[in-house]
Structures are given as structure tokens and as C-alpha cells.
Structure 1
Amino acid sequence: MARSMALSLEGRTLVVAGGDERELALAERLLELGAGVWMVGFPAALLPPGAHFAPDLASVADRAEAVLCPLSGTDPQGAIRTVMAQGMRILLDDGVLERLRSGTLLVIGSARPALKAAAARHGIRLIELEKDEEIAVLNAVPTAEGAVQLAMSNLRVTLHGSRTVVVGYGRCGQQLCRVLGALGASVQAVVFHRTEWARAWAAGVAAIWPHELASAAGQADVIFNTAPALVVTEEVLRRMKPQALVVDIASDAGGTDFEAASRLGVQAIHALGLPGRVAPRTAGAILAQVVPGILARSLAP
């Protein structure tokens, strides 16, 4: 991926808290740009050369100009993922946030309401990366490939010649339709407004409306859901064929009635964080491409 040679983070003190291989790749890039990088939630042996190990976030909070957290955000209790330091728990609570200096950047995928309120109380500047269009567009590629990989691993038929339904025709939905079509699947896209319908039509994808999903589900071998609202309902699941599959890549609770799926014997997979799971080097390169520019702009005087 192309990078700006003029970009510099010389002299900035940054903390990378939690995550996986993606954050390691990001830390390498931050170091290349001259930042001092402290890392929490990683074994010392895995840190890139030049990075500093920190045992916990509180110990380095007061020196940070920015704290970078995983795209996955926090769990309901306010803890961020520490995939490479099993058993470690990093909480983003008042006890930690009050140690940050006012004006410090807190960069995270998405912030729950409690974190937003706590950041506001302590004068912390919050940046949610899920709202960054560049990251969203780039991440749609590994997300779509990961969803297709899951389907291949769990179906008893090939995707070639199968009937597939993609719910939502946004960034991920468009990529899914493109990949599925290239594999020889029959693809229908559930669209939610006229602009999605127009994009699907321009791409040669058959578009249907949400009220038509239950009917389409009766013929589908797999439904891919990208919509973060309950659309794959019990009515839709009841129509599905035996051994059909639902792959739900929507954030938070997803868009599938998973309790009904379990009761009805429909295999439904809620697949979150696919870029980091199936293509961590690509996903890390995406963060390394985009995040330093966000930091440089946000930390500028």
C-alpha cells in the first residue's frame, strides 16, 4: 500500500493497548515514523524492535499523547481484547481514564455509550475508527474473503452453482457479491434504499427488498448478513432448507435471531473481526496505512 514519505510522528509518545497481529504491524509503522511506542497486552518477546513493554495501561497513561485500542472496541464490561496475552484484562474505566492528561487521544474501533461518557468526563478526545471511510472500504475486502472462507468450510455444497443471498449492499455487501459472483454462485442482494438498488443494478446484481427475504431464504444455500439490525428473523430461518447456512458479519449483536436458529437447527455463525482472523497481515497493513495520518492530523498544534 502506498504511504506518504512526508508523514512524521517524531517525538510523539503513543501507547498501543491490546489487540493482535494488526496492532503489531501498526506499532512497527509508528516506530518507523519516529514515535515512542509503549505496548500493553503483548508479551515482551513479541514487541517490534524499539517498542517499550508496559505491564499495564495505568503505568503509562500519564505519558501518552494517544492511546490506540483494537478495532473490536470493548466488551460490555469495558475490557479490550488482549489476544496475545491470554488472561490479561485491560479495562477502559474511570480509574484509567482519569490518569490520562486532558486532551489525550483515545483511538478505538467503536466506543460504547459508557466509554463515550467517561471520555467526556475526563476531557479525552475520542476517535472511532469504524467511522473512517478509508478503513471501512479497505477492510471490506478481507471481511468478504473471510466470510466466504467460513461458508466454504461449513457448507456441504460448493459455492459454485449455489444460491446465495447477501443482506445489505454497503461496502461489505458489495465485496461479497463480487467474490461470490466470481466463484460462480447465484447472488441476490437485499437492499434497503434506492441508492443500494441502483448500485446493485449497475453491477448486474439481482436486488430484492427486505420483505422478500423470507421467500428468497427458502431457496438459499447460504445467507450472508451485513446489516446490524434484526433482519434474519425466525420467519426467515423457518423457510431455510436443511443444511443451509447463515454467516452473519454484522457488528455488535448481529442481524440474526441466533436463539431461534439454534432452536430450529439452522447453523448460524456470528463472525466478528474477520480481517484480523483470516488476513492479519493485510488488516495490519490497512491500519498502518491509515492510522498514522489520523494521528498526525489530530496531534498537530
Structure 2
Amino acid sequence: MKKGPIGIFDSGYGGLTVFQEIESRLPQYDFVYLGDNARVPYGTRSFETVYQYTWECVQHLFAMDCNLVVLACNTASAKALRSIQQNNLPLFDLDKRVLGVIRPTAEVVGAYTKTRKIGILATQGTVSSLSYVIEINKFFPDIQVFQEACPLWVPLVESNEFNTPGADYFIEKNLDNLFKQSPDIDTVVLACTHYPLLINSIKKFLPDGVRLVSQGKLVAESLEDYLERHTQLRDFCSLGTRRDFYTTGAADDFNEKATLFLGHGVESKHLPL
């Protein structure tokens, strides 16, 4: 292998919240971000379609010399990661690695709850996959997991309507639905990378004493630990200030909306599929 940047993949913009946390924790590395904006949303698509789209984009990142790719997308992690790890990589290149965002959250979430009841807020695709229920119960069989799909939250973020009374209405409604399942939930996981932009509104309607867990920081910490344990792979992650952004959609649109997530502008390039 030749040295290359760490690849960050998402179906659109949400993975930028994960990228931001990873870059903050591991600023010494080069990074390439790819958003499949031309085919978003992934949340309502079938397992097979999400797998095909994700694997196609991962191969593009491999072609950019990325030896390690993080799927900074809950839907892709839920519907595609295992197939890529078990079926594609052994035939494609045993030295490449693809990681997701669900396992790093599931591994540590037990430390946040005292009642052993956790709520998951996510897209319909992630909820339907039951990935969080399965993964959390692998590490913490005593924890009960309750889920609530929030199909309108991503459009609210991407249309820059997340600080409006309309957004508050839907956030309050979804939280009410979640806590109707169990009033003893004491920890809520934001299981979509768009949702950190809604944190201020979510906190307004969250019951007192409930802990809110956002994924980006956990994924960044997990990646740092992974690289410390896999030194051979770490040595093939290039060091520097490279920050490249690619989108399968329109570059101008990506640049504009990326500002909402990162707080600063980017200059992306269009990647034709």
C-alpha cells in the first residue's frame, strides 16, 4: 500500500458533524470527505440499494488512496457495513479497512445509563434495521432499547429550518412518542449525524435529568483508539493538512450547505458516478 488520507463517507451532509469531531481529535492526518448527495436520502432505501451505493462510493475513496474509510452515516453503517467487511474486502483488498458509527456508540453507551433504558432517535431506515438494538444488546444484554423514527428531522436541517417553531413542533412530538414507550429512559442517543444541529431544540423538550449522547465525539475517540491498536494501518494514513471534499451532487449546493454543519466554507469537487 501507499500512504493515503483517511476517507469519510456519508450519504450527504450529516457526516460532516462526524468529520469535524475526527478532524478536531486527529488533526495531524489528511482527510477526504465524500457525500453521495445525488442519491440522498438513504434512509428510505432498501438494504440492497444502500449496500450498492455505499460500496460504490467506498471504492471511489479507495481509488483516492484511502486505506481506511469511516462510514459516517448511520444508514450505511446499518445496511451496508457488514456486507462490505465480510464479503467485499476479502476479495478486494485485505489491507483496506471500513469502519462504521454504530459499534463505537454501542460499545460505550452502557456507561451513560443508570435505569438501563435507552432511547434511540434515528431515521426510519436505521430504526427498521434494529442495528442499535442488536449491537447494544451484544455489549449490554441488560439494557432495554426504545426507538423513535424522526423522518422530518433531516429535511428540517438541510432546509435550514431547524431553529423554527415548525421544527420545535416535530421535535416535541417525536420525543413525546419516545418517552411514551418508557418514562424511565435516562439516556437518548442521536443516531443520525444530522441531529447534532438540533441539539438546542431537543434539549428544550427533553425531560430533566435525561442525558443526550451525540455520536461524533464517540466515533472520534474510537477511531483514535483503533489507530493506536492497529499501528500498521496507522502508518499508511498520511500526515498533513489535506482536506478534500467531494460530492456526487452539485458542488455549489454542497459548499453552501456544508457551512451549516462546519461553520465555515469549503470548496468541494463534483464526483461523477
What TM-score does the superposition give when structure 2 sets the normalisation length?
0.38
The structure showing larger relative contact order (alpha-carbon pairs under 8 Å, at least 6 residues apart) is 2
When Rg is computed on C-alpha atoms for both structures, the one with the higher figure is 1
What TM-score does the superposition give when structure 1 sets the normalisation length?
0.35
